[in-house]
Amino acid sequence: MKNNKKYKGIVAIDLFAGAGGLSRGLLDAGINVIAGIDLDHTAQETYEHNNKSKFIYKDIRDVTGNDIFELLKGYEDYYFLLAGCAPCQAFSTRNHRQKDVDERRSLLLEFERLVRETNPDFVFMENVPGIKKREPHVYQEFEDTLHDNSYSVEADVVNTKYFEVPQDRKRFVLFASRHNEITFPKHIIEDEKFLTVKDTIFKLPKINAGETHPKLINHSASNLEEINIRRLKQTPHNGGGRFDWTDESLVPPCHKGIKGFGNSYGRLSWDKPAPTITTKFYTYSSGRHGHPEQDRAMSFKEGALLQSFPNDYIFFGSSVVKGRQIGNAVPPKMAYHFGKHFLNFI
């Protein structure tokens, strides 16, 4: 490891922290997350209410290595983990001195810059499964920087359902270490014994579309137009979908004669993990977001639980803001197991 000196544990900085899914998982694992950094000010109240860590409202492009070192003062006896899920949208700039050069840039390269400037003991990165195909040069530059700075690297696509998340969600994850050969975490759940929708939300009290439970915070379901109530009533419980409708007048014009997009207007299945919880999980029409039995879409509470947020985690903001906070989050339970993996490694 680092040297013969005894270290007390791991401290972390969470880049692109959002509502705190990654931070909460690492904290629960026993890693001290000093701060979460994000440009989305609407996430600050949710982040700080639920976590012991400080929220820093700042564009990562304006964050310097010296800023990180200031946050790390007093933690010299700890290993340092730099972690984050960089949004994958790339942007292009034109180098006017070389007219034929069009350099692709992304926030992932800002992550890479901070790795170079701070030389952390460990790096964890989470992203979309197709990042290598969407931005091959950008991703390769990130990984090359790690190798050039003597990091051991392991990276692959994982499914969150193997890490106690009741959701079929594939993500790309990277682990890097400057101390010994890093290993890839083993599955926590084997033999198809995944957590299911029923395991997770079955006991929540019943609510109707457009209703908020008077005592259970965030257990609120979006209102539905009358035609969507009719659609739900024709959708069989426990996994039914729009192909089960017998009334052709219920089929939206954009879906007439189209066999694709089978999850649209569908219900969740009790006995399976949920499909990927997107930022629009609270809207009935945009995916398999219908409750398995009740005639409504998922509530914010249900979406958060299926993302593996703890029961006491509270989200603040408008419906759009809460949907974005929950859907974009790193599932905390997966982050917990990855945090434990780093702790076991040292």
The model's pTM is 0.91
Closest CA to 222 of 156, 276, 167, 303: 303
- Report pLDDT for 263: 74
275 within a domain of the structure (yes/no): no
Tens digits of residue pLDDT in 237-295: 999 998 888 888 888 776 666 665 567 899 999 999 999 999 999 999 889 999 999 99
**Structure-block tokens of residue 51:** 């976590």
Residue 248: predicted pLDDT: 81
Determine the pLDDT at residue 7: 81
251-258 contacts at long range (C-beta below 8 A, 24 or more positions apart): 252/285
Burial string for 66-80 (b: 16+ CB within 10 Å, else e) reads: ebbeebbeeeeebbb
**Count of alpha carbons within 13 Å of 256, Cβ hemisphere only?**
8
Is residue 267 in some structural domain? no
What confidence score (pLDDT) does residue 262 get? 63
Domain assignment present for residue 177? The answer is yes
CB atoms within 10 A of CB 341: 17
| pLDDT at res. 170 | 96
- Digits of tens for pLDDT over the chain (346 positions)? 555 557 889 999 999 999 999 999 999 999 999 999 999 999 999 999 999 899 999 999 999 999 999 999 999 999 999 999 988 654 333 334 433 333 335 899 999 999 999 999 999 999 999 888 877 889 999 999 999 999 999 999 999 999 999 999 999 999 999 998 999 999 999 888 999 999 999 999 999 999 999 999 999 999 999 999 999 999 999 999 988 888 888 887 766 666 655 678 999 999 999 999 999 999 998 899 999 999 999 999 999 999 999 999 999 999 999 999 999 999 999 999 999 999 999 8
Instruction: Please tell me the predicted confidence (pLDDT) of residue 97.
Output: 42
Domain that holds residue 25: 10-189+332-345
Q: What is the CATH number of the domain that holds 74?
A: 3.40.50.150
* Cβ contact 122:342 at 8 Å: yes
**Could you give the residue ranges of the DSSP H alpha helices within the chain?**
21-29, 44-50, 65-71, 107-118, 131-134, 136-148, 197-201, 226-233, 300-306, 319-327, 332-345
Do residues 46 and 55 make contact, with C-beta atoms less than 8 angstroms apart? Answer: no
| Residues labelled as active-site residues | 88
- Rounded-to-integer distance, Cα 182 and Cα 120, Å: 14
Burial of 134 (0-12, 13-18, 19+ CB in 10 A): middle
Cα separation of 288 and 108, whole Å?
31
Cα–Cα dist 76/243, whole Å: 60
* pLDDT of amino acid 105: 53
Residue 255: the pLDDT is 61
The residues pairing with 105 across neighbouring beta strands, listed in sequence order, are 91
Nearest-5° Cα angle at 289, 26 to 252: 150
Spatial CA neighbour of 259 closest among 271, 276, 242? 242
Determine phi and psi for 271, rounding to 5 degrees.
-100, 20
Domain count across the chain: 1
| Token pair for 246 | 């017998």
* CA–centroid distance for 158 within its chain: 13
- State the sign of the Cα–Cα–Cα–Cα dihedral 300, 305, 307, 312: positive
Which residues have CB under 8 Å from 252's CB, separation 6+? 285
Q: Is residue 182 part of a domain?
A: yes
